[in-house]
A and B are shown apart, each in its own frame.
Chain A
Amino acid sequence: MGISINHISIYLPQTILTNAELANQFSVTEEQIFKNTGIKQRYISASGEISSDMAVNAAEILLKNYEIDKNSIDFLIFCSEGFDHKGPSTSCLIQHRLGLSKNIMAVDLPYGCSGYVYGLGMANAYLKSGMCQKVLFLTADMATTVIHKDDLELKSIFSDIGTATIITKASYNDHFIFGTDGSGYNNLIVDHSASRNPQTIEKLQENNMPLGHMKMQSTEIFVFAVKTVPVLVSEILLKHQCTIEDIDLFVFHQASFFMLDVIRRKCKIPKEKFFVNIEHYGNSVSSTIPVALLDAQQKGVLKKGMKVLLAGFGIGYSWGATIIEY
């Protein structure tokens, strides 16, 4: 048994940050920003608009556009690293805001760039066990709120987007591979954001970042991704007993254009089978894969029945991959 991604909807905040605006703020050119990131614009959540708001907006678009019976949903997953409260689970609040049935499981999945594949894996396990029949899987993050105002590198990359996916059972067999290496936790971290090394009055006075401060060691993250993802791709192909030629489309977490290009070449994936849309959306953490899937579908690159290899990787370190029949 496998999973079927029935529908995807996305919510894009109204504010767009362009390279021209970034170039104005920092002493660089638009071309330099684009050359380093492959990104032309990114989305910024409005003041007071938090992750769950974006996820709920995406879910409402999905429920309305596809006329989905709310009572048919029996499992809600909310993947984010920006929750409403430390308790209760934000997924509980979302169940209420969306008016979903009270007879559902609702869980928060506190994951970043690998989160979409993790959520699909959870959906797969629960569907396979018979514990649920229809999953509403939401992703949203507001990474731009934990970036220091003077940090051009992170400001150039990250984007705030919410997504909603409906997942049901499918007849084909799919498999997942997951990996974890917490030794790299400090190379991409939102510091001063929780119990370890908590926020202080001095820090708040220094940078006015109440939700935490994202810090990234780019070289280490690059090396991690370039070492890990090609192995991950080989292993997931092997697990499905297929080759690159058997895959119709590769949709990876949209980390940065340059990183994706190096990974693609190392994996020997033809350009035409490797979907990249970071240029127009930026890196929206766990939302990049559903944003890319929907974009690919709307552009006619991705069609129903195609075999798609999905790979997520990043903060943790954490990674995962699967091959689905779309």
Chain B
Amino acid sequence: MISAEEFTKQLVSEFEDVPENIIFPDTNYRDIPNWSSMYALIIIAFIDANFDVQLNANDLKNTQTVRDLYSIVCAKMNS
């Protein structure tokens, strides 16, 4: 599995017009400028396509930071 930093970098590249230097592993991803439910879809699709891990709406509800997302992906990959 890639590092949390690399995970963050790859995730941010999925968002258009979001500079890389404002999102870090411990950033609350809902603080992304102009956050909307559409970003949640991008996150779910990114994780599904790249890590073959299927997140649902509840998984997202239980996360705050990008690192939380990363941890869920790691846990699901190892389960």
Give min CB distance, B45 to chain A, whole Å: 4
Surface stretch bound by B, among A122-130, A197-205, A222-230:
A222-230
Given known A-B contacts A223-B44, A265-B16, A258 and B49 have beta carbons under 8 A apart = no
Pick from B16, B38, B49, B54: contact of A36, CB under 8 Å: B38
A227 to B50, CA, bound (A): 9
Interface residue? A174 (CB, 8 A): no
A-B pair number, CB within 8 angstroms: 30
A227 to B49, CA, bound (A): 6
Interface residue? B48 (CB, 8 A): yes
A226 to B48, CA, bound (A): 10
Query: Which B residues fall within an 8 A CB radius of A?
Result: 14, 16, 36, 38, 41-42, 44-45, 48-49, 54, 56-57
A103 to B41, CA, bound (A): 50
Give min CB distance, B38 to chain A, whole Å: 5
Q: In the complex, given contacts A223-B45, A226-B45, what are 18 additional A-B residue pairs having Cβ atoms less than 8 angstroms apart?
A: A35-B36, A218-B41, A219-B41, A219-B44, A222-B41, A222-B44, A222-B45, A223-B41, A223-B44, A223-B54, A226-B49, A258-B38, A258-B41, A262-B14, A262-B41, A262-B42, A262-B45, A265-B14
Give min CB distance, B41 to chain A, whole Å: 5
Q: Determine whether the beta carbon of B49 is less than 8 Å from that of A219.
A: no
- Interface residue SS majority, chain A: helix
Interface residue? A279 (CB, 8 A): no
A36 to B37, CA, bound (A): 9
**CB-CB < 8 A to A258: which residues of B?**
38, 41
A271 to B16, CA, bound (A): 13
Q: Determine whether the beta carbon of B16 is less than 8 Å from that of A261.
A: yes
A153 to B72, CA, bound (A): 29
A265 to B38, CA, bound (A): 15
Q: Which A residue's beta carbon lies closest to that of B13?
A: A265
**CB-CB < 8 A to B49: which residues of A?**
223, 226-227
A258 to B41, CA, bound (A): 10
Pick from B14, B16, B36, B57: contact of A219, CB under 8 Å: B57
**CB-CB < 8 A to B41: which residues of A?**
218-219, 222-223, 258, 262
A265 to B46, CA, bound (A): 12
Q: Which B residue's beta carbon lies closest to that of A218?
A: B41
